[in-house]
Amino acid sequence: MTADAATAARFGLALPCGFGTDYAGTVDQVGAGVTGFAVGDRVFGGALSRAVADHVVVEAEGSIAVGGDAHRTPDGVDDRTAAVLSIAGCTAAAALAVVRPGAGDTLLVGGAGGGVGVFVVQLARLAGARVIGTGSAASADALAELGAEPVTYGEGLAERVRALVPDGVTAAVDLYGTEVVQAARALGVPDARITTIAAAVDGITPANGANAAPGALEEIPRTWPRDASSSRSPRPSGSSTCAPPSSSRRAGTSAGRSSSTSSRCGPPCAS
């Protein structure tokens, strides 16, 4: 939220404007030429800085940042859950697309208990990686439930991680500050396998929504019904400030557009 025109312009916005980006609801109107959606379809998606509304008009081939987008909500995922997927889920998918964790990897996640972090942890576990997640001592049980091995943040992080993982970590995602970037470097992780959505660090590739693979937003909710080895099914965190939950959003698609099932995520949270 900002009242400063220059700040708004950094996100491609002009004042006055709405707020909120994530939405979920039911299609009540489709535009001419749209074939992939029908009235009554349950959908979720993003509409940059205008999703807090009774009705949201989005483009069937748009993106979160330009025109808004829409994705089908799978059976078994309610609107309240779907409404937190777009920004947090897409940002998590984008970060993992940079470092590409898989079986045999040990991923260090900074801010693992936050709105984006809970997705990073669970998606990495689904990919077969071991996950070490930083957080407060109070968050340790919650991180373990998600499938991460918790470690407290703060001074001495690299040493605590080294004690927990003597063989070392192979990739890292920093979701706040620079602490995890610096710890990962101290642990010998190459810069190419470190990413951040927080403060810029020379030599480190930042993650943004454009990094997410096509279809990422469709794949994330499809993982809900199943378990992944020792991790529970992915689920969102109530701590996400970028994704206000709502079960009342209703989405329509704009006229003259054809539907698309590709995920076009756009930038991390700018709402």
Q: Would you say residue 14 has pLDDT above 60?
A: yes
- As a whole number, the mean pLDDT across the chain is 82
Report which residue type is found at 219: E
With a pLDDT cut of 70, the percent of the chain lying above it is 80
pLDDT of 186-203, one tens digit each? Answer: 999 999 999 999 989 999
Domain ranges of the chain: 87-222
Q: What is the per-residue pLDDT for 11?
A: 73
pLDDT of 93-112, one tens digit each? Answer: 999 999 999 999 999 999 99
Class of domain 87-222 as given by CATH: alpha beta
Q: What is the per-residue pLDDT for 256?
A: 29
Could you tell me the CA-to-CA distances from 247 to 41, 57, 80, 82, 251 in Å, in that order?
14, 16, 5, 9, 12
Q: Would you say residue 72 has pLDDT above 50?
A: yes
Sheet containing 149-152: order of strands: 149-152, 130-135, 106-110, 171-174, 194-196, 205-206
β-strand 130-135 against 194-196: which pairing, if any? Answer: unpaired
Q: Is 145 helix (H, G, I), strand (E, B) or coil?
A: helix
Q: What is the per-residue pLDDT for 16?
A: 82
Rounded Cα–Cα distance for residues 175 and 186 (Å): 18
Q: Can you tell me which residue has the tokens 């470097």? A: 185
pTM (2 d.p.) = 0.76
pLDDT of 221-257, one tens digit each? Answer: 776 534 433 344 455 554 332 332 333 333 343 322 3
Q: What is the per-residue pLDDT for 1?
A: 60
